[in-house]
Amino acid sequence: MLECGNDDMGMQDEKSLSDGEFEKIRSLYLSRLEIPEKKPPVQFLLCPVGLIGAGKTTVLVPLAKKLGTVRVSTDEIRKMLKEQGFNYDRSRDIAHSIATELLTGGHSIALDMNCGSRDGFPEIQKLIRRFAVKAFWLHIDPPESFIIDKLRNFKHTWLFRNGDEAVAAYFRSKEKHGDMAKKIGTFTYVFDPSRDDLHEQIEECARLIEADLGSAAGSKKR
């Protein structure tokens, strides 16, 4: 999927979501999530940072599964809203509400969205402080030429009408969010999905996170 913020979206002519409909969509999406039975001993968040088409979902799907986290995707929520005739204005609110419930239940979460966005970053910081969870920031940073080529040739269905609209949305998002890496500072891992060794990158990142979590779990026992 090609994750982007609500202001960067293409096709949006649908109705607004009422509070009652919000709860229905929220409950429906929550019921479709794959929630591992076993919870990691140390709660954590996977927080990818990257623009439209960078490959956040490509990285997060296998990484979340490997680390036993629940993956919450704003794009999947937007697709559900689109299918039921609603606009995307409250998609992040739905994701935030679900993340809060899952964290309260002791789960760890892979936030499949641009966690470095102007709107998303402050909300994630609040979650980190409220639940005292570890956050692993992941920079999804392929060459821009790779992203543009991907957006132009991607088979667009519900998110954008065509490649030109997708590319225009990418540049709007880039201008809006600027250099997101500066606000994060240090990343646990920097991915380049344009390379042929993405599987190895994911394996290496998982090992680093597991080692960090192992150290944190040891410290909690002392």
pLDDT confidence of residue 11: 47
Q: Can you give the pLDDT at residue 1? A: 46
Give the pLDDT score at 161: 82
CA 111, 38, 210, 65 dihedral sign is negative
Confidence of residue 170 (pLDDT cuts 50, 70, 90): very high
Confidence of residue 7 (pLDDT cuts 50, 70, 90): very low
Average pLDDT, the chain: 90
Q: Is the pLDDT of residue 34 over 80?
A: yes
The two tokens of residue 153 are 């040739």
The residue extents of the domains of the chain are: 44-221
Phi, psi (rounded to 5 degrees) for 34: -90, 110
Given a contact cutoff of 8 angstroms between Cβ atoms, the answer to whether 5 and 176 are in contact is yes
- Cβ atoms < 10 Å from Cβ of 88: 24
Three-state helix/strand/coil letters over 100-138 = HHHHHCCCCEEEECCCCCCCHHHHHHHHHHHHCCEEEEE
pTM: 0.89
Mean pLDDT of 163-184: 88
Q: Is the pLDDT of residue 156 over 70?
A: no
Q: Express each pLDDT in 114-140 by its tens digit.
A: 999 988 899 999 999 999 999 999 999
Spell out the residues 6+ positions from residue 149 whose beta carbon is closer than 8 angstroms to its own: none
pLDDT at 12 over 60: no
Count Cβ atoms below 10 Å from residue 60 Cβ, excluding itself. Answer: 25
201-214-73 Cα angle (round to 5): 50
- Kindly state the tokens that stand for 20: 């009652």
Q: Is the pLDDT reported for residue 50 higher than 90? A: yes
| Amino acid, res. 46 | L
Tokens of 104: 């309260």
Selecting from 3.30.565.10, 3.40.50.2300, 3.40.50.1370, 3.40.50.300, what CATH number does the domain 44-221 have? 3.40.50.300
Quick one: pLDDT at residue 14?
A: 74
